[in-house]
C-alpha cells in the first residue's frame, strides 16, 4: 500500500498478518518479535491517538515521585522506548529498550496478536488506555495530515472510509480495543479510558499509582494532576514534540497537542457519517462488555 501526494510524500505501509504497519517496522520484524521482555517491565499500550503521551507523562511523574525536573531529563519519546520503532541508522526501539536499566517502562501501539510473545510469558504489567473511536479518528486524521512519516489522509470523507475499514497504521480501532479488553482478566492489565482521565484525573492517576505499586502523598498527586494537564503539556517542550523537525511533524498544519478534549468528533462527523458509524460500531463491538458512550 503506497500513497503519493502532491507534496511528494511517499510513506509506505506494509502488512503483518493483515495489520498495516510502517515499512521500517516490518523490515525489523524479527528483532521485534524476538524482543526479550523482563518480568518487571511495564508496557504502556494504546491505539494511536488515545492519549499515549499523556499516560507516559503521568507514569513518569509517578516513577519520579512527582519531581518535574527529573521528568525534564529527556523528550517523552526517549523516556519510554517504543518497541516497534525502527528508523535506521538510529538505534531501534528494541535496541533502546535493551540498553535501558530495569525496571523499564516501554510503550507500544501493537495489537495483542502482534505483541512480542515474551511479554505474555513473563507476565509483565500492561497499562492500556482506550479512547472513544470517533475522537480517535478525528485526532488520527489531523495527525496524519501533519506527520510526514504516515500516508497523507486525503479528505475527511476519504479518511472516514480508511479508518472504519482498519486500513490505517496499526490496524482497526475495534480489533485493537477488543483484543486488549479480552486479555484484561488473564494478565496484569490496568485498562483505562481517556474520557475517565479527563473527567477525574486524580482518581485515575491514583489507580495508576496503585497498579505501579507506589504510594505517593496527596500533595504529590495534586502536583501530578496539574503538571499533566493538557495546557501544561502543550507548553512543555519535553512533551509537545516541538523538538521534532518540521520535515517529520509539521505543526504548522496541525499541532501535536491539538485540542485534548472529549467530543471533538461532533465538529467533524456529518449526521449521515454518524449514523453509519454507530451502525458499524454496534456490529463490530457486539458481544463485548466494553461500554463506550458514543455520544460523549
Write out the residues near ligand A3P by the rule CB under 6 A.
46, 48-54, 135, 139, 142, 228-230, 233, 257-260, 264
- Residue 294 backbone dihedrals phi, psi, to 5 degrees: -75, -10
Interhelix angle for 173-183 vs 271-284, to 10°?
Answer: 40
Smallest distance from ligand A3P to CB 163, Å: 14
Which CB atom, from 98 or from 258, has the smaller least distance to ligand A3P? Answer: 258
The catalytic residue among 80, 109, 142, 176 is 109
**Is 78 annotated as catalytic?**
no
Contact 153, 145 (CB under 8 A): yes
Which CB atom, from 41 or from 135, has the smaller least distance to ligand A3P? Answer: 135
Smallest distance from ligand A3P to CB 99, Å: 24
- 152, 209, 140: which is closest to 176 by C-alpha? 140
Q: Who's near 223: CB < 8 A, 6+ residues apart?
A: 61, 66, 68
Smallest distance from ligand A3P to CB 150, Å: 12
- 86, 79, 75: which is closest to 29 by C-alpha? 86
Distance of CA 95 to the CA centre of its chain: 20
- 277, 251, 258: which is closest to 160 by C-alpha? 277
Q: What is the DSSP letter of 268?
A: T
Which CB atom, from 167 or from 259, has the smaller least distance to ligand A3P? Answer: 259
Which CB atom, from 34 or from 79, has the smaller least distance to ligand A3P? Answer: 79
Smallest distance from ligand A3P to CB 151, Å: 17
- Residues marked as catalytic: 109
Amino acid at each position: 500500500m503506497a500513497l503519493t501526494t502532491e507534496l511528494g510524500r511517499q510513506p509506505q505501509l506494509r502488512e503483518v498478518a493483515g495489520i498495516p504497519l510502517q515499512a521500517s517496522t516490518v523490515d525489523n520484524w524479527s528483532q521485534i518479535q524476538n524482543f526479550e521482555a523482563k518480568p518487571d517491565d511495564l508496557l504502556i499500550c494504546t491505539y494511536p491517538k488515545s492519549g499515549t503521551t499523556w499516560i507516559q507523562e503521568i507514569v513518569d511523574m509517578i516513577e519520579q515521585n512527582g519531581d518535574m525536573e527529573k521528568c525534564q531529563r529527556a523528550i517523552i519519546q526517549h523516556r519510554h522506548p517504543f518497541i516497534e520503532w525502527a528508523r535506521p541508522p538510529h538505534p531501534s526501539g528494541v535496541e533502546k529498550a535493551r540498553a535501558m536499566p530495569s525496571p523499564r517502562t516501554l510503550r507500544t501501539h501493537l495489537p495483542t496478536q502482534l505483541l512480542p510473545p515474551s511479554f505474555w510469558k513473563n507476565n509483565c504489567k500492561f497499562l492500556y488506555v482506550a479512547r472513544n473511536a470517533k475522537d480517535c479518528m478525528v485526532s488520527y486524521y489531523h495527525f496524519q495530515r501533519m506527520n510526514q512519516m504516515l500516508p497523507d489522509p486525503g479528505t475527511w470523507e476519504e479518511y472516514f472510509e480508511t479508518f472504519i475499514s482498519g486500513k490505517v497504521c496499526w490496524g482497526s480501532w475495534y480489533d485493537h480495543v477488543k483484543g486488549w479488553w479480552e486479555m484484561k482478566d488473564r494478565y496484569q492489565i490496568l485498562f483505562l479510558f481517556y474520557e475517565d482521565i479527563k473527567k477525574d484525573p486524580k482518581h485515575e492517576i491514583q489507580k495508576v499509582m496503585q497498579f505501579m505499586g507506589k504510594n505517593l502523598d496527596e500533595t504529590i498527586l495534586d502536583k501530578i494532576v496539574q503538571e499533566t494537564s493538557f495546557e501544561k503539556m502543550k507548553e512543555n517542550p519535553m512533551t509537545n514534540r516541538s523538538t521534532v523537525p518540521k520535515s517529520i511533524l509539521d505543526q504548522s498544519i496541525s499541532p501535536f497537542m491539538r485540542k485534548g478534549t472529549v467530543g471533538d468528533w461532533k465538529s467533524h462527523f456529518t449526521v449521515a457519517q454518524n449514523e453509519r458509524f454507530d451502525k458499524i460500531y454496534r456490529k463490530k463491538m457486539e458481544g463485548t462488555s466494553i461500554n463506550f458512550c458514543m455520544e460523549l
